[in-house]
Amino acid sequence: MEMCMQLRRKKVDQPNPAEQQSNNESQRWFSRLRSGMEKSRKNLVSKVSGVFSRFTPGSEEFWEEIEATLIQADVGVKATTLIVDSLKERAKEKKIGNAEDLLNLMEAELANILGEESPVFAWKEGLLNIFLVVGVNGTGKTTTLAKIGQRAQKEGKKVMFAAADTFRAAAIEQLEIWAERVGGDIIKHKRGSDPAAVVFDAIQAAKARSVDLLLVDTAGRLHTYENLMEELKKVKRVAQREAPDAEIGTILVVDATTGQNALAQAKIFNEALGVDKIILTKLDGTAKGGIVIAIAEEIGLPITLIGVGEQVEDLQDFRPKEFVEALLESNGNP
């Protein structure tokens, strides 16, 4: 059965040059997203299509099969139950009789769970933005932070980095390299010093130098998880105290390849610290793209950016509707 989820044409009129450029950019963006999502798409689409092709209205067995498929694709039990219950009800109500209409219903359901876009930047003229970037080691925290800095620079903003992961000497060095590459200032102390003191100094420097965005790299591992959370809470308190007028965002980076672990980390960090937004990295390296749905449903926090590769442009704004299209689009489409 042909299960095409064709991209809808956005414009019928001939676009002007500015619109044309923006269309081209948006196509490039979509094609990077699409290729980054290759594994997840194959995993989810081939399985879902297989099951959907056996759709028989009223068959309980069919719904059980769909449920199992979504759970296997890391969509999570809670989100799966919600999706299946809603699909069942709406399919009955709308008297859906074929698989393609059902797939369209599912697309709408997934987009609904993912909610609205939550852009990473919300510049306010003259206001300091501070991002406390948190997450366990190896999730891609430091590279992601650097990529955000690069983006802000491109938008003409002044960026500063704070090396508040003082637990590892390598973390400070890595951030220094990135700061140089990106062209932002860096505030650092010696290894083993108090991260809250680094943040204190960084905020004073950021104010003095009229910085737009202060990116704080934090530790992702300490002797215990409790120590880590206490340290991060202190860093946040100091930031709030020293920059009461600033826009302070706590941004959690999680690695999609870790599947349900990413979900567990999001719960822990959010409970301890209060997370504002989530960045999901390494979606290109996994077939577990369904984790995006699980995070949105179970944690209820917006995903602001996704990583679909190691290049700077592979850190993309998370656009729920396009993401669902890229995830569900069948392989044969352009």
Q: Applying CB under 6 A, which residues contact ligand GDP?
A: 135, 137-144, 220, 281-282, 284-285, 307-310, 314
Closest distance of CB 172 from ligand GDP, Å: 12
Closest distance of CB 85 from ligand GDP, Å: 33
Count of other CB atoms within 10 angstroms of residue 329: 21
Nearer to ligand GDP, 45 or 253 (CB): 253
Residue 77, both tokens:
């039990």
Question: What is the C-alpha to C-alpha distance for residues 101 and 103, in angstroms, rounded to an integer?
Answer: 5
> Which secondary structure element, helix H or strand E, spans residue 254, and what is its range?
strand 247-255
Nearer to ligand GDP, 120 or 308 (CB): 308
Give the sign of the dihedral formed by CA 156, CA 303, CA 216, CA 221.
Answer: negative
Closest-CB residue for ligand GDP? 307
Nearer to ligand GDP, 201 or 310 (CB): 310
Nearer to ligand GDP, 106 or 327 (CB): 327
Per the CB < 8 A criterion, the answer to whether 106 and 87 are in contact is: yes
Closest distance of CB 282 from ligand GDP, Å: 4
Write the CB contacts of 202 (distance below 8 Å, at least 6 apart in sequence): 160, 162, 164, 187, 214, 216
Closest distance of CB 315 from ligand GDP, Å: 7
Closest distance of CB 248 from ligand GDP, Å: 21
Count of other CB atoms within 10 angstroms of residue 280: 26
Nearer to ligand GDP, 128 or 315 (CB): 315
- Supply angle C-alpha 211, 214, 218, rounded to 5: 160
Closest distance of CB 164 from ligand GDP, Å: 12
Closest distance of CB 141 from ligand GDP, Å: 3
Nearer to ligand GDP, 5 or 279 (CB): 279
Nearer to ligand GDP, 250 or 281 (CB): 281
- What's phi and psi for 224, nearest 5 deg? -135, 165
Q: Which residues of 63-85 are buried (b: 16+ CB within 10 A; e: fewer)?
A: bebbbebbbebbbbeebbebbbe
